[in-house]
Amino acid sequence: MNSVHRHLVSIDDLSLAEIKSLFEHARTFATDLRGFAALCPGLISASLFYEPSTRTRLSFESAMLRLGGGVLTAADMRATSASKGESLADTVRVVSGSYADVIVLRHASEGAARLASQYSAVPVVNAGDGSHEHPTQTLCDLYNLWIERGRIEGINVVLAGDLRYSRTIHSFVYALARFGANIVCVPQPGFELPAYVVQRLREEFAVEPVRADATRLGDLAQSSDAVYLTPQKPHQLSLFTDGGKGLAVGRVDALYMTRPQTERFTDQDVPIQKYQQLSRREMAADALRDAVVMHPLPRREEIQPDMDEDPRSIYFKQAARGVPIRMAILAFLLGRIALDAPPHEFDARLFPAPVGVNPCRNPTCISRTETRHVRALYRLAARFPIRAHCGYCSHEIVAPLVGCTTTRHFHPHDSASARRIRPDHMVFFASEAEALAAQYEPAARVGATGG
């Protein structure tokens, strides 16, 4: 990865202290949106949007203009050289060469922003990559909670709707877990949090999903299997269970509603007969009386018009606050403001897979959809048994066999010999036939004990 500039590819790229410092700057910007035009004169932001956008693109461009900079907009990449087959890597290299000082990228493939950051000479901001992450929307959402509730630590947040394909939810849930917020998932049936998201919450944040007693949420949770996620250990959670019905949902600080992400549905998804809806009737539930209502927009029918005048609804304020928080993001990445906070010490080491080998099975990962200028990456999640995630899309790499590029032997992923293979020498195989086809031999056949 380009190490000269800071990028914002994932919410993990910022420490909690840096996030709070961004909030302080955003609050200052919000006091006078026209008063900071001297911060970025002569600097240019390039909007590369391979997918449609209204709020994200316009709020970023508004933010840059309010900082005194300029913008270049490619709002429809079908009208660019991408339609002629130009790779994302080449587009980024050209735009970051002398055209722009920062790139704001939206792309349909998970991990696209990670790939772009490898080739860019300027900071890259992930404005949404497939169903993977949307870190600046998460910062906007966290900022709204911070403004409305005065804190994020320990608050109770309900996430409802399509939790499977919403990249906003995925970034948001990671950040809430890091801040120590309590999360109640009330998904549309069949659209629960993806397994790789839940797994990461368990491994990195000690979050264990527990059945929730959502009786106090009323009609909102009537047809949903609610799950409680809290950054506590399972044995601690057991102290609060209620008669075997699960952890009871109490007072809710915020309800975050999402639309069905139909543009990402697959043929395997069960058609939705009736999507969750939120109106004043649902909001009359005991636990929701004091909850602010949030939505990343655009909405469809999941929030009824009668909620627009409800003082608890802040989704239009939420969108408006996207400008000052994105002013803070751009000013920071462009070196025009400093964050009085240490950076995040997240272990983000990524290891390249051998040339020609791609262990990621996710068909919408950038490592699968981009045919050139991309080499598969992985991040180790555990050493014994060996488990890894794709370095682009974060999906788990399903690999019962692990090879060593030095010895050309392969081993069961849960064997002691596999544990001794250096991370940068690992290669992952889904089957013995795949390993043999790559000209690797089983370790037992040659008496090998490690890599």
- Domains assigned to the chain: 11-135+322-333 (3.40.50.1370), 136-314 (3.40.50.1370), 351-446 (2.30.30.20)
Q: What are phi and psi of 211, to 5 degrees?
A: -55, 135
Judge whether 84 counts as a catalytic residue.
Answer: yes
For the stretch 367-401, what's the b/e string if a residue is b when 16 or more beta carbons lie within 10 angstroms of its beta carbon? bbbbeeebebbbbbbeeeebbbbbbbbbbbbebbb
Predicted TM-score (pTM) above 0.85:
yes
Q: What is the pLDDT of residue 448?
A: 43
Read off the pLDDT of residues 221-261 as tens digits, 9 standing for 90 and up.
877 788 888 766 544 444 444 545 567 788 899 999 998 88
* Alpha carbon distance, N-terminus to C-terminus of the chain: 27
Judge whether 317 counts as a catalytic residue.
Answer: no
Q: What percent of the chain has pLDDT over 90?
A: 59
What count of Cα atoms within 13 Å lies in the side-chain half-sphere of residue 359?
A: 31
d(CA 132, CA 344): 20
d(CA 301, CA 310): 16
Amino acid at 270: V
Split at pLDDT 50, 70, 90, the class of 422 is very high
Split at pLDDT 50, 70, 90, the class of 170 is confident
d(CA 353, CA 345): 24
Active-site hit among 31, 34, 78, 84: 84
d(CA 125, CA 135): 9
What count of Cα atoms within 13 Å lies in the side-chain half-sphere of residue 258?
A: 26
DSSP string of 329-380? Answer: HHHHHTTSS--SSPPP------EEPPTT------TTBHHHH--SS---EEEE
- Strand order through the sheet with 70-74: 70-74, 44-49, 102-107, 124-129
Judge whether 258 counts as a catalytic residue.
Answer: no
Judge whether 134 counts as a catalytic residue.
Answer: yes
Read off the pLDDT of residues 186-217 as tens digits, 9 standing for 90 and up.
998 888 898 888 888 888 888 888 888 888 88
Active-site hit among 25, 57, 106, 170: 106
Judge whether 56 counts as a catalytic residue.
Answer: yes
Active-site hit among 5, 25, 134, 200: 134
Residues 6+ positions from 223 with CB-CB distance below 8 Å: 189, 276
SS3 96: helix
Active-site hit among 27, 55, 312, 408: 55
* Structural tokens at position 447: 């008496």
Active-site hit among 56, 136, 230, 407: 56
Handedness of CA 408, 409, 414, 415 (dihedral sign): negative
d(CA 409, CA 440): 5
d(CA 217, CA 86): 50
